Each structure stands twice: as C-alpha cells, then as structure tokens.
Structure 1
Amino acid sequence: MPVSERHEVPLRVAVIVGSVREGRQGRAVTEWFLGAAAGDDSLELDVIDLAEVELPLVMPGWGGRPSPEAVAALADVSPRLASADAFVVVTPEYNHSFPAALKNFIDWHHAQWQAKPVGFVSYGGLGGGLRAVEQLRLVFAELHAVTVRDSVSLHGPWSGLGQDGEPRDAAVCAGAAKGMLGQLAWWGRVLRTGRAELPYAG
C-alpha cells in the first residue's frame, strides 16, 4: 500500500484501563477521554478494560506453557494489541507507582508493544499520577515501545474528577488530551509506515 493511502487508514488505538480496584475512577476517566477524542475520524479506539481480563498472576517459566485460563484471556486481548498501531494507558498512581494488574498485563505481552507509540492519561492526588507515568516510561522503553512526551494528568483538587465524572478544569484537560493525541497520531503513522517497509529488528 502506498504511503499516501496508508496515512488515510484510521490509526488503531488500544485504550487500556489500568485499574481493577473496586470503586475505581479509571472507567470514568476513560469515558471522559473517549469523549475528548470523539469526532476524530482518523482514530479507531478500542477499549481494553483490565477488570474484564482475567489473567493469572503467575506466569510460566522459560519454555513453559500458559495455563488454560491464561490462554483463554490472551486469545481475546493479544490479537487486539497486535493489531493496534498505538496505545493509550489510563492509570492511577498507587503508592508512587502504577497498578500491579497493569504490570501483569504488560508482562504477558512483548512483541505486541514493539515499535509502537504509547500515550498516558493519569489521575490521582496532587501529583495526578505523574510518578506512575514516569515509571511506565521505563517499562515500555524496555519493551521497545516509544512513549510520547506529553501526557494528560488529572490531579486534585484543581483538575481532578468531579462528581459527574468530568474534570474540574475541563478546558485545560481537553487541550492536554488533544495535544497528546496529536503526538500519538504522528508517531503512530510514522512507525506504522516504518514497520510496513522494514520489519522491526527487536
């Protein structure tokens, strides 16, 4: 497919809801983000909610085989990650880091992340989840992914979520979402073209 035609194909973005805790705000944050991204026909968004992915905590050793439960869970989500051109991770900050369920999900995959961009939407406390994002950047770098520079941070009490699930400073947060998505789309198209022309040697 010529590069010009490839750029017209919508960018497939997997949006990963990283929290599985009872009473979590992750789904509300994700719904807000989807609304902020709505209307952009160049993006095709696929939500993967980790609360609906029952991956075991124990991974097989080198050369081992996943359990039947893991195989069933991976059969649904792994192809969706593989077909994605880019990712957005929605994460809270737990104890200056990100949720264990999110790390488990990341670690069950490898090639699916390679040579693809990752953007972040974080939330929680005064820091807005930024420490979780900084640690995730290290994890994704090890997996040969490219994290975009700008992120979206919802931090209380100024731009945290209100009772209606919307950010208190909606204009600033919407602007941050547009900026992050612009960077994600640029990297997503460039890397998609690169992978098509020259397979990544990871």
Structure 2
Amino acid sequence: MKISIISGSHRDPSQSMKVARFIEQRLRDKGLCDQTWLYALANNPLPLWDQGVWDGDEDWTRRLDPLHAELRSSDGFVIVTPEWHGQVPAGLKNFFLLCGATELGHKPALIVSVSSADGGAYPVAELRMSSYKNNRLCYIPEQVIVRHVESVLNEDPAANDPQADPYFRARIDWALGILREYALALRQVRKSGVTESEQFRNGM
C-alpha cells in the first residue's frame, strides 16, 4: 500500500511541511503502508492551469506525467492545507484542477488543516465542498485541524505545548489508522469496475 501526502503551502519553509513530514514518519513508524510519497507545493512547482492541459501540450505532459504516475500508484492521500485568509491556498486548488479521476478517483483522503491560531475549519469545508467533484476523491469522515501549530509536532520537545502536543500526536495516529482501512476497502470498489463510465465522466 502507498499513501501520498500533499503539502499545500506555497511557503518554504512552512508549518504545513512540518506537519506533512511528521505524518509521513508516523505512517512509516506505525507500519500503516508499505510506501509513502511526499509532494510539496512550496515555491509553486505547478503553473496555473491553462487550456494546454486539455490539449495535450508537450510542456504540460512533461511536467504532469511524473506527478500523475505517483498519484495513480497511490492507494490513499493526506491533504495538508494551511488556512490563508480563511481559504485553501491557490496552489492547492490548482493541484486539483490538474489531477483527475485517473489519478485520484475513488481513493480515500484525510484532510489535515493547519492554523497558527484557533482557525483551520474553513479550509476543511472548502475542500469538502468542491475539490473532489470531477476527480472523485473520497474524503473520509475524519479530519484533523492542527491549531497553534507552532507549538506542537516539533522535533524539539521543549518547543511543544505539553498539553496540546500529545493530543495532536494521538489524534493524527488514530486518523491515519482509519485512512488505512478506507484505502483497503476502496480497492475493491475500484476493482469492481462500477466506477468506470464514459457517460458520466464529470460529477454533478
């Protein structure tokens, strides 16, 4: 089983990347998957979508083929997003425009939202509302909102809030365990063939 983690922040370094790396390590330490892949949107590696994506432009094909191959070989995803002005960063929204059902369809994803304060709920709602429509990504019911992120999940124990840090570590472990079971279950859904349809290629 392969779980891919998408770090949605444009910044480098970022707290989102810190959280993404922590999650990747926990997946490995707990033996929840055989392989992980971490992809960061720091410094905007993906240009904004344009018509060339649909027209088979060579530059787009060269850029997207390696990304799509990694996503197609994944059984599940963790989507890590900061909250910027109450929103998902533009680069992460663009990521979903550039990836379709072939890469993400009928595979489970765990949303992990990151906030420097008490926020983080708006990106969860935004992702659940629209980002899955045509690519058929399946967000699991659980989510994690890492609030006051600077004070948790740090490698240096002295930098962590002694009350909040253990909670977030335990909550992430629990949510990752659920993600794994969804990944196992949805393999059979894809294998059944019922999700394939030339007539209904887009979501409603």
**Equivalent residue letter for 2:94:** N
Going from structure 1 to structure 2, the CA distance change for 1:133 and 1:181 (only over 3 Å counts) comes to same
Match of 2:144 among 152, 163, 166: 152
Task: Report whether the alignment pairs 1:184 with 2:176.
Answer: no
Q: How much has 1:185 moved relative to structure 2?
A: 1.1
Q: Give the aligned partner of residue 57 of structure 1.
A: 48
Is the contact made by 1:123 and 1:160 (CA closer than 8 Å) also made in structure 2?
no
Q: Give the aligned partner of residue 91 of structure 2.
A: 101
Q: Give the aligned partner of residue 48 of structure 1.
A: 39
Is the contact made by 2:115 and 2:148 (CA closer than 8 Å) also made in structure 1?
yes
Q: How much has 1:125 moved relative to structure 2?
A: 3.1
Going from structure 1 to structure 2, the CA distance change for 1:163 and 1:182 (only over 3 Å counts) comes to closer
Q: Give the aligned partner of residue 197 of structure 1.
A: 192
Q: How much has 1:163 moved relative to structure 2?
A: 8.7
Structure 1 gaps, min length 5: 1-10
Is the contact made by 2:83 and 2:119 (CA closer than 8 Å) also made in structure 1?
yes
Moved over 4 A (4+): 157-167
1:27-67 deviation digits (Å, cap 9, x = unpaired): 21112222333323241211111227622214216852335
For normalisation by structure 1, the TM-score amounts to 0.82
- Alpha-carbon distance in structure 1 between the residues aligned to 2:149 and 2:40: 26
Instruction: Return 158-167 or 24-33, whichever deviates more.
Output: 158-167
Going from structure 1 to structure 2, the CA distance change for 1:167 and 1:71 (only over 3 Å counts) comes to farther
Going from structure 1 to structure 2, the CA distance change for 1:63 and 1:19 (only over 3 Å counts) comes to closer
* Superposed CA RMSD: 2.6
- Report how many aligned residue pairs link the two structures: 191
Q: Give the aligned partner of residue 134 of structure 1.
A: 125
For normalisation by structure 2, the TM-score amounts to 0.81
Percent identity between the aligned chains? 25
Q: Give the aligned partner of residue 61 of structure 2.
A: 71
Going from structure 1 to structure 2, the CA distance change for 1:90 and 1:154 (only over 3 Å counts) comes to same
- Alpha-carbon distance in structure 2 between the residues aligned to 1:109 and 1:164: 36
SS of residue in 2 equivalent to 1:51: coil
Q: How much has 1:13 moved relative to structure 2?
A: 0.7
SS of residue in 1 equivalent to 2:29: coil
Instruction: Return 179-188 or 91-100, whichever deviates more.
Output: 179-188
- Alpha-carbon distance in structure 1 between the residues aligned to 2:26 and 2:160: 11
Structure 2 gaps, min length 5: none
Q: Give the aligned partner of residue 80 of structure 1.
A: 70
